[in-house]
Amino acid sequence: MSADSTPSKETSNPAVDGSELIRFDNVTKRFGSNVVLDKLDFSVASGKHVTLIGPSGSGKTTILRLLMTLVKPDEGTIKVSGEYLSHEERNGKLVPAGEKHIREVRKNIGMVFQQFNLFPNMKVLRNITEAPVTVLGLSKDEADERARGLLEMVGLTEHIDKYPSQLSGGQQQRVAIARALAMRPQVLLLDEVTSALDPELVAGVLDVLRDIARTTDITMLCVTHEMNFARDISDQVLMFDSGRVIESGSPEKIFNDPEKDRTREFLSAVL
């Protein structure tokens, strides 16, 4: 919410009916003179699937990058699971967080990127087991078992011994999803995970995500241009423009009966 607008029902924070897993309070992010996020407030309740939609450049990826601590807010605070992300409390004061604190809070968050970002020199199995072993301290056997279960879930058991370059884009993206889930994060961030794929590979990846949404209690924060997918999985859709949530609501409400002209205009361009 910006300081110069009074909170109103349609632009106030999303309803929170579980515990709050993610909370942005008054977050501003600038790149030079470009104000990308403008005193942004929003929250995501535990277990919910929230989709961010909005025009290119409106700040959607920046939100996910802030959560991954790839960038830091200029103002405001972000909490994950009740803990400050880029800040910590010392002697009753809020100070920029140290690396150790950031690493601990970030363990709760997994992300899948548009460009897969698999480790090219590691086979599929090791791509998935690497972080659970090095970051979480799982034994190799425990990590292998977890990875095999996830590969079965994403339908890639027979590709376990291949290198990423031997897989299709859709298969690589399913490995990336399994790799994120192997850390058992509380929240999965998905940034246009199908937009780099050939059209015929999109459905397979979306099916895997639909499955995860249906069968796990993981919280999902998703940026997508796949509006049918957003409609299917979302508990809530947030319409973003110029670094602010201009409208939020159920997928039925946002897609069928949006309140704002800007939302209607955006949807008519993408639907």
Question: Residue 193's closest CA among 108, 110, 73?
Answer: 110
The one of Mg ion, ligand ATP, none whose footprint includes residue 119, by CB under 5 to 8 A per kind, is: none
Looking at residue 97, the DSSP 8-state letter turns out to be P
The alpha carbon of residue 191 and the mean position of all alpha carbons in its chain are separated, in whole angstroms, by 6
Binding part of the chain for ligand ATP, among 57-65, 143-151, 175-183, 200-208 by CB under 6 A, reads 57-65
- Rounded to a whole number of angstroms, the minimum distance from the CB of residue 62 to ligand ATP is 3
Comparing CB distances to ligand ATP, the nearer of 31 and 119 is 31
What distance in Å separates the CA atoms of residue 91 and residue 206, rounded to the nearest whole number? 46
- Rounded to a whole number of angstroms, the minimum distance from the CB of residue 187 to ligand ATP is 18
164 is a contact residue toward ligand ATP (CB under 6 A): no
Binding string to ligand ATP for residues 17 to 46, with x set by CB under 6 A, is what? --------------x--x-x----------
- Rounded to a whole number of angstroms, the minimum distance from the CB of residue 61 to Mg ion is 3
Residue corresponding to tokens 């298969």: 171
Strands 20-31 and 34-45: antiparallel
Comparing CB distances to ligand ATP, the nearer of 41 and 241 is 241
Contact 41, 25 (CB under 8 A): yes
Positions in 41-80 near Mg ion (CB under 5 A): 61
Binding part of the chain for ligand ATP, among 58-66, 141-149, 177-185, 198-206 by CB under 6 A, reads 58-66
62 is a contact residue toward ligand ATP (CB under 6 A): yes
Helix segments in 182-235, DSSP class H: 199-215, 227-233
Comparing CB distances to ligand ATP, the nearer of 62 and 171 is 62
What distance in Å separates the CA atoms of residue 1 and residue 26, rounded to the nearest whole number? 7
- Rounded to a whole number of angstroms, the minimum distance from the CB of residue 138 to Mg ion is 32
Binding part of the chain for ligand ATP, among 56-64, 82-90, 145-153, 172-180 by CB under 6 A, reads 56-64
70 is a contact residue toward ligand ATP (CB under 6 A): no
What distance in Å separates the CA atoms of residue 53 and residue 81, rounded to the nearest whole number? 24
Binder among 58, 127, 171, 236 for ligand ATP (CB under 6 A): 58
Strands (E), the chain: 20-31, 34-45, 49-53, 75-80, 83-84, 87-90, 93-96, 109-112, 187-191, 219-223, 236-241, 244-249
CB atoms within 10 A of CB 215: 9
Contact 33, 23 (CB under 8 A): no
The one of ligand ATP, Mg ion, none whose footprint includes residue 34, by CB under 5 to 8 A per kind, is: ligand ATP
What residues make contact with ligand ATP under the rule CB under 6 A?
A: 31, 34, 36, 56-62
What residues make contact with Mg ion under the rule CB under 5 A?
A: 61
